[in-house]
Structure 1
Amino acid sequence: MSGRSVFVYSDELLKYKFSSHHPFNQVRLKLTLDLLKKTNAITDADIIPPRPATEEELFLIHDPNYVNAVRLAGLGKLSEETAEGYGLGTEDTPIFPNMHEASSLLVGGTLTAVDQVMTGKADHALHLGGGLHHGFRGKASGFCIYNDSSVAIKYLIEKYNVRVLYVDTDAHHGDGVQWSFYDDPNVCTLSIHETGRYLFPGTGNVNERGQGKGYGYSFNIPVDAFTEDESWLYAYQNALKEVADFFKPDVIFTQNGADSHYYDPLTHLSATMRIYREIPRLAHEIAHQYCNGKWIAVGGGGYDIWRVVPRAWSLIWMEMTENSNCYGSLPDDWVSYWQKKSSVALPIEWDDPATLYPAIPRKDEITEKNRLTLEKALYPILQKKSNERIDT
């Protein structure tokens, strides 16, 4: 399986910052990279800097008027009323200085990852600064100004003429990416997320299957609140294997939000580090089975930046590089350094304890509900397989 992997990063990515108290905090990038360095899992030779996306690249997805509005907002030259119409200056996406430049760099980082993989310089590329999957053509949404994943997928199609499987395991539905390609049969989107009954953005129902030529290429598995590891992994493993076999992609693009964890303050799921081991492991397997190893991975949500995100995101890189040194104790020097800055007690092990949270009283009911949801989501694929068996 082994092949070169690259890690896209520079401290410039930290300039995507709404405020000191906003839940979207890119300090998690530094925490993750430092954990990898102190585990001796990454070297400077593995790291490449992002480049800014050009206007033409942003226009692959975003309306030019919106891009101009973002630029003006970052210069303090956009009226409050106009900004509101573009989803800017809200509680979720406050205006900050030079926001166009900071946002363009996030998009460009994902494009850097794409080019590394598609030109054969790397088999796998990880850009944790990306994964802003809520941005729309002409509107910011859910902490996301530009949608780097949508731009990158459109870029993949137009520059490299490939079929893309987009897999989104953020606790929030990957709505911006889904709607960008809802009528495109060259992009298959699979999102596993907490049900929109309780969580932003409220979309991602099983019956959102695509439209026109894209009908049948959108898959959503909205799991119930308080879903635990076993049920979540059952949905993920079965869905990804079936969807990949159905679509047979040329490249796999994964969005790796780390907010399904029990500790995450913005969601209501009860996953542990177990799922963050399995998410990249199976993605890696699928990449080699169908895509000659081509795997592009980005970050996403994750709002417990101290206890969850560094471990979860480090495990993606560990999987990409087939490094098994991610069990047992975390490096003492990482824990001691960041504990001085953290407002919570840091974990000292890669994995969570079995006693992380009290027993969930509705476990059986939640598990059965999720199983039925998975069946509904995969029904078109399973029905087609069944018909093919009957025909033969």
Structure 2
Amino acid sequence: MTARAAFIHHAGEAGYKFNDSHPFNPKRLELATDLLRKCGALDDACRLRPKAADDALLSLIHRSDYIEHVKSLSADRPAPSYIAAAERYGLTTEDTPFFPGMHTAASLIAGGSVLAAELVMSGRAEHAYHMAGGLHHAFPDRGSGFCVYNDAAVAIADIRRRYGARVLYIDTDVHHGDGVQWAFYADPDVFTYSIHETGKYLFPGTGFVHEKGVGEGFGRSVNVPVEPYTEDDSWLETFRETVEKAAAAFKPDIVISQHGCDAHAFDPLSHIHCSMAIYREMPAVIHDLAHRYAGGRWVAVGGGGYDIWRVVPRAWSLVWLEMTGHPIAQALNASDLPLPAEWRGRWAPESPVQLPDTWLDDVSAWTPIPRRTEIEAVNRKTKAIAVQDL
């Protein structure tokens, strides 16, 4: 196992919780980290606690008036004037309502991604993983899509400022990585890549193939919107070919990847029909790209994922297992393996659904998708258009 991988985690990040009924549930962090512990893959020596990002860091992406309002709306009883202005800042929607302690938790998450990027760029770690990060929908002046501060964008802006690094950002969340894309849309030294369900049907309604950057940043944005009910083979074919061409064309100094795991068939908020196979394969592809094109420098963050019992723990654990070269990740290339019985026994009494027995899914019993041939044909056309300007 690589000794130079850092795992960034702080218990305070679990405070990023909108309300008890909101789909963005921080319990998924506990489930995933416990799975890593139960399979002996998380050494305490690799774990580092981040500090909250201060206003200077947050201001690399976010407007000062927005930060001020996030802070004020984080009080137990915000002043009426701030509540009245909350809608303007995107913090009264069903998706992203303000909540007590919001700034403290969100700035801690931003600080975690900044620390991960700094560790890698400074050479103190070859790889770094910040599972709580990946809040890719936040904008400079407003929250959106469960995201208050855009931690990945803040981290990218920080290492651009401090190191002048050329950054390849790879977003595998089922929702388009809009906030990161627009933050660097004119920057020729930040390449944003996103594979996601087409915005024709899914939030945030962006991420089409014609979104390729502007000015000096033209060609530095690649979007690969796939069709609803895309399955493993088509998703992976599309991903491998396009992300490889993006990395080869750009030749980054560092790869920062977002690992939202909501393209799984079990996820309640999307229409993609993939299995755990893509979450075993995508980190391996990204790991290889980081070593071939970026001197091994790789930062991974979390993201979406709303089947918190069956999908998120396995998918997010697989990122770390790949990052550290753990034997489980290597063995899964050949066959499936059982999940630790201790982990299943610990969480089964709480889970509202039956927990999986194995790392991967048995898809043989899944209902076939009737439009498979048509879906695959559309995805191949999209793939070709997405990379034609590289």
TM-score by length of 1: 0.96
2:299 is the alignment partner of 1:268? no
| Residue 165 (structure 1) aligns with | 168
CA shift for structure 1 position 2: 4.2
| Residue 389 (structure 1) aligns with | none
CA shift for structure 1 position 89: 2.1
Q: Percent identity?
A: 50
| Residue 180 (structure 2) aligns with | 177
2:230 is the alignment partner of 1:235? no
CA shift for structure 1 position 11: 1.3
Contact preservation (8 Å) 1:3, 1:124: no
Partners of 2:158 and 2:268 lie apart in 1 by 34
Q: Residue deviations 1:110-135, cap 9 Å, x none?
A: 01101111111110000010000000
| Residue 139 (structure 1) aligns with | 142
Q: What residue identity is the alignment partner of 2:382?
A: T
Match of 1:204 among 204, 207, 232: 207
| Residue 189 (structure 1) aligns with | 192
Q: Where does 1:223-262 land on structure 2 (aligned, <5 Å)?
A: 223-262=226-265
CA shift for structure 1 position 356: 5.0
Q: What residue identity is the alignment partner of 2:39?
A: T
Moved more, 350-359 or 138-147: 350-359
| Residue 384 (structure 1) aligns with | none
2:57 is the alignment partner of 1:57? yes
2:361 is the alignment partner of 1:358? no
Partners of 1:32 and 1:2 lie apart in 2 by 20
Q: Residue deviations 1:81-127, cap 9 Å, x none?
A: 30000001221111111211111000000011011111111100000
Q: What residue identity is the alignment partner of 1:329?
A: P
CA shift for structure 1 position 324: 2.2
* Number of equivalences: 381
Q: What residue identity is the alignment partner of 1:176?
A: G
SS at match of 2:299: strand
Match of 1:110 among 93, 110, 113: 113
Partners of 1:19 and 1:118 lie apart in 2 by 36
Q: What residue identity is the alignment partner of 2:169?
A: Y
Q: Residue deviations 1:298-327, cap 9 Å, x none?
A: 000000000000000000000011012254
2:384 is the alignment partner of 1:375? yes
Moved more, 269-278 or 90-99: 90-99
Contact preservation (8 Å) 2:72, 2:82: no
SS at match of 1:56: helix
Q: What residue identity is the alignment partner of 2:32?
A: T
2:311 is the alignment partner of 1:308? yes
2:109 is the alignment partner of 1:100? no
| Residue 29 (structure 1) aligns with | 29
Partners of 2:365 and 2:33 lie apart in 1 by 25
Partners of 1:6 and 1:107 lie apart in 2 by 16
SS at match of 1:197: coil
| Residue 333 (structure 2) aligns with | none
Partners of 1:297 and 1:265 lie apart in 2 by 24
Q: What residue identity is the alignment partner of 1:363?
A: R
SS at match of 2:170: strand
2:308 is the alignment partner of 1:292? no
Give unmatched runs, 5+ long, in structure 2.
Answer: 330-335
Partners of 2:301 and 2:83 lie apart in 1 by 32
Q: 1:121 to 1:356 in 2, by over 3 A?
A: farther
TM-score by length of 2: 0.96
2:333 is the alignment partner of 1:333? no
Partners of 1:345 and 1:125 lie apart in 2 by 32
Q: What residue identity is the alignment partner of 1:58?
A: L
CA shift for structure 1 position 268: 0.3
Partners of 2:60 and 2:97 lie apart in 1 by 24
Match of 1:348 among 338, 344, 357: 357
Contact preservation (8 Å) 2:224, 2:382: yes
Partners of 2:3 and 2:182 lie apart in 1 by 33
Q: What residue identity is the alignment partner of 2:36?
A: L
SS at match of 2:107: helix
Partners of 1:33 and 1:43 lie apart in 2 by 11
C-alpha RMSD over aligned residues: 1.0
Q: What residue identity is the alignment partner of 1:93?
A: T
